[in-house]
Amino acid sequence: MSLFLSEIFIYPIKSLGGISLSEAVVEQRGLQFDRRMMLVDESGMFITQRNYPEMALLKTEIVSDELVVYHSINKHSVRIPIRKTNYSKKNKINVVIWDDECNAIAVSEEADKFFSDMLNINCRLVYMPDEEKRIVDPNKKYVDDEHIVSFADGYPFLIIGQSSLDDLNKRLGTPLPMNRFRTNFVFTGGEPFEEDNWKDFLIGDIKFKAVKPCARCVITTTDQQTAKRNVEPLKTLSTFRKVGNKVLFGMNLIAYGTGKVKIGDRINLL
């Protein structure tokens, strides 16, 4: 059965609303603009919907060279330059994401005030500069050669088959949208969960490698329109997708090459 890329998503600020694209630029550390920014607390520790589900209410869109972030309920918004040349290297700060310490650049006091007001916590918006090299899987448990990643949890790209979501939704009382899983790529064709067994493959002309299944967290239980939490889909996924103490859904990827991918690109397994 033929496999085709059917959806593309980026999340310019980690854990905020995503943007659906018809085509995207594949860069070394992920899709262009994907998770190059994130919010940190006063100590520099990253913050996500895991602890602040209301982050789901902050939506994003790219207008010209600016990222517009707006609150879906109160409609307050802020505009942020999205290209790196707009940030001052004088504003460098150290931040922590999982086990990694990274150099980042504070974006602006205006952005800090907006996010602090919207989330009711003191926080800062930071950007990952090009010279920062956050290494994928530094212990080489899953990836032998050196790759870099943005502020994504661990890997530059994530893919999920539409068939996999359809299979899950047949088991749920209320079907869920793909936005619960914050993937970069969705594909059509193939069997449910066949991405579990992929190794090397092409999207268009760009080679990717599937390196490990994605372990899912409480963010999947957060309604991305209301920020309300439920037990699903983790409750149901844990009945048939649990390995050890982890619930798996989707595959983490690395890329061997850069360039453009677009909706409709054929996926060829190598």
Structure-token match 């504070």, residue found:
106
pLDDT for the residue 83: 80
Q: pTM, whole model, 2 decimals?
A: 0.96
The pLDDT of residue 84: 65
Peptide bond into 233 cis (omega under 30): yes
User: CA 251 to CA 214: how far, in whole Å?
Assistant: 5
Per-10-residue mean pLDDT of the chain, 270 residues long, equals 96 98 98 98 98 98 96 97 72 95 95 98 96 94 95 98 98 97 97 98 98 98 98 98 97 98 98
**Are residues 73 and 23 in contact, defined by beta-carbon separation less than 8 angstroms?**
no
What's residue 90's pLDDT? 74
CA dihedral 216, 34, 23, 27 (to 10 degrees): -110
CB-based contact 69:37 (threshold 8 Å)? no
In residues, how long is the chain? 270
Task: For residue 16, give the nearest of 144, 109, 161, 151 by alpha carbon.
Answer: 151
Beta bridge partners of 8: 21, 185
Q: Which domains are delineated in the chain?
A: 3-269 (2.40.33.20)
Dist. CA 216–CA 204, nearest whole Å: 28
